[in-house]
Amino acid sequence: MKNSKLLWNFMKGNRLKYIGAIVSVGFAIFFSTLAPLVIRTTIDSILGGNPMELPALGVKVVNFLGGKSILVQNIWICSLLLIIITLIKGIFLFLKGKWSASAAENIAKNMRETLYDHIQHLPYDYHVKCKTGDLIQRCTSDIDTVRRFLAMQLVDIGRAIFVLIFSITMMLSLNVKMTLIAMAAVPIIFAYSFVFFNGIKKLFQDADESEAKMTTALQENLSGVRVVRAFGRQKYEVDKFNAKSEEFKDLSYKMYALRGNYWAISDFLCMLQTGAVLIAGVYLTARGDMTLGTLFVFTTYEGMLLWPVRQLGRILSDAGKMTVSIKRINEVLSEKEEETPLDAAKPEIKGNISFEDVYFEYEKGVPVLDGVSFNIKTGETIGIMGKTGSGKSSLVHLLARLYDYNKGSIRIDGVELKDINRKWIRKNIGIVLQEPFLFSKTIKDNISLAKREAVDKEIFEAANIAAIHDVILGFDRGYETLVGEKGVTLSGGQRQRVAIARTVINKSPILIFDDSLSAVDTETDRAIRKALSKRSRGVTTLIISHRVSTLKEADKIIVLDKGKIASIGSHEELIKQEGLYKRVWEIQSSSKADYHNDSKVS
């Protein structure tokens, strides 16, 4: 019910077109059923000597054309009438096709855009947890299933109903006994078709799923090609893909074999039905109980009837498939969007940050941050260190309102973070994520992503700060170099630096680097930090790193342990205390000494 309501809502603005398409199909079927009647009258009454057996409207048409005597002398008028009827039918079929296709395309476009827009506004957590492949399938093939149903099958249901109504009414008015014979196998064919397509639906679904598995294997292989090569897993990957391909082939074969059987058996049933009409019709005509023209009408109507009856089962089972797709689309649309109250504050952000007893959990009862309190003044640089999983990324994600904290308080320049507009806060906080994603665009487009109006000078300045300007100029196409899918044409360190340039271009009052200098060497790391501190005076900077050399110049370093602050202080203060920071410093400075000693030796 919820799903049909959703479909009905999406049809808004196109409902009239649909009604027009169904009415047109009704007219087309009406004219299709008229044609055999014209032939019947021509055979029986104009060429033959039988009296005219026509409804009042038919009599009026004959009189309009000049009466029976004129028609006998000008038989071409009957042919002309047939041509006109076929032409009118053609016009209505054209209108049906035009309106239903246009309505279906509009509805599909509407659905696609609504879904895409909705996905853009879903919480970050949804995207972290959802399966991307599945979401893509909902936005593409599920919408296409709905589109195909609306474009063809919905109108086909109307067509089948009109064919049944018109032909049965006409046949009943001509000969009741023959009508019963003509309809005898119809319920059987319909029931067989319905049961068959309902049964094969499961196979359709299995084949669909198997195809999705095959595509996923292919997509994973292509994305992870480097891992595959590095671990020499080509044979394993080929075998895995072949197994999926084999499974898909078997299911598809089974499906086509079953469908082949269905069409053969239903063809046979239809032949039997047509044969029965012919035999009974010839018998009745020979006995003089029925005219030759009426026999012609019955055989023609029989042909018209059987095709939609056979299709109706398929249409109804496809309607089931469409319902599944609509349900899957509805599931995404029912997900709650990130709240952005219109009255949320948009204060001037200077960069004072305070955490007070902050508690945060992803899953109920499993604290990720607990009792976290600290203050940062505008322009300070804060380092964050901690073992993996200690909550460093979660802490900075809270600042960007990618998640909301459960207890405690986070204030930016004295304003509670939860009261600040999400878009506003994200506009004022530049964050370089741990795994930066670059779009398949030019380097220039990637850097100016958050500031479309940026001029070359600003782009170059940002690239200079990120120590990537000279590297970019070294590429044949410079800033116009295209970044491949997920930035594969760039090295890890180059990708990180482009991501840094993309963030610093915006001159946000708060900058966050989530372990985003890990893939660059210590020299470049130092150069970037130096350039940043020169350009970003007054900017509050948070740097997450496992490298003491990156953190030691920070005003304050926060050491996190299992979601709690283990210690906080400057480099000088922390190396005097026992704890993680001191241990890491000792390990890293001794390995540095080893490295230098080794260098000297070599």
Ligand X SMILES: Nc1ncnc2c1ncn2[C@@H]1O[C@H](COP(=O)(O)OP(=O)(O)OP(=O)(O)O)[C@@H](O)[C@H]1O
What are the strands, taking DSSP E only, across 86-210? none
Query: Is there a contact between 465 and 532 (Cβ–Cβ < 8 Å)?
Result: yes
- Based on CB atoms, which residue is closest to ligand X, 19 or 128? 128
Q: What is the DSSP letter of 479?
A: G
- Based on CB atoms, which residue is closest to ligand X, 427 or 564? 564
Residue 227 has which token pair?
């891992």
Q: How far apart, in whole angstroms, are the C-alpha atoms of residue 98 and residue 106?
A: 12
Q: How far apart, in whole angstroms, are the C-alpha atoms of residue 164 and residue 23?
A: 15
Q: Residue 260 CB, nearest distance to ligand X (Å)?
A: 49
**Which are the contacts of 489, defined by CB distance < 8 A and separation ≥ 6?**
481, 482, 483
Q: Residue 547 CB, nearest distance to ligand X (Å)?
A: 12
- Based on CB atoms, which residue is closest to ligand X, 263 or 362? 362
Q: Residue 523 CB, nearest distance to ligand X (Å)?
A: 23
What are the strands, taking DSSP E only, across 105-222? none
Among 383, 387, 354, CA closest to 573: 383
Among 431, 429, 428, 454, CA closest to 443: 454
Query: What is the SS3 assignment for 407?
Result: strand
* 526 CB burial (10 A radius; 0-12, 13-18, 19+): middle
Residues that bind ligand X (CB under 6 A): 125, 128, 362, 368, 386, 388-394, 434
- Based on CB atoms, which residue is closest to ligand X, 410 or 465? 410
Residue 480 has which token pair?
């116009």
Among 466, 526, 521, CA closest to 498: 466
Q: How far apart, in whole angstroms, are the C-alpha atoms of residue 313 and residue 463?
A: 63
Q: How far apart, in whole angstroms, are the C-alpha atoms of residue 337 and residue 205?
A: 30
- Based on CB atoms, which residue is closest to ligand X, 206 or 370? 370
- Based on CB atoms, which residue is closest to ligand X, 126 or 192? 126
Q: How far apart, in whole angstroms, are the C-alpha atoms of residue 102 and residue 147?
A: 10
Q: Residue 322 CB, nearest distance to ligand X (Å)?
A: 34
Residue 13 has which token pair?
């603005």
Q: Residue 511 CB, nearest distance to ligand X (Å)?
A: 17
Measured in Å, how far apart are the chain's first and last C-alpha atoms? 77
Q: Residue 434 CB, nearest distance to ligand X (Å)?
A: 6
- Based on CB atoms, which residue is closest to ligand X, 42 or 390? 390
- Based on CB atoms, which residue is closest to ligand X, 392 or 422? 392
Angle, CA of 453, 505 and 461, to the nearest 5°: 100
Q: Residue 226 CB, nearest distance to ligand X (Å)?
A: 21
Per the rule left: phi > 0, alpha: psi between -120 and 50, beta: everything else, 521 is beta
Q: Residue 362 CB, nearest distance to ligand X (Å)?
A: 3
- Based on CB atoms, which residue is closest to ligand X, 24 or 390? 390
- Based on CB atoms, which residue is closest to ligand X, 45 or 394? 394
Q: Residue 391 CB, nearest distance to ligand X (Å)?
A: 4
Amino acid (1-letter code) at residue 396: V
Q: Residue 564 CB, nearest distance to ligand X (Å)?
A: 12
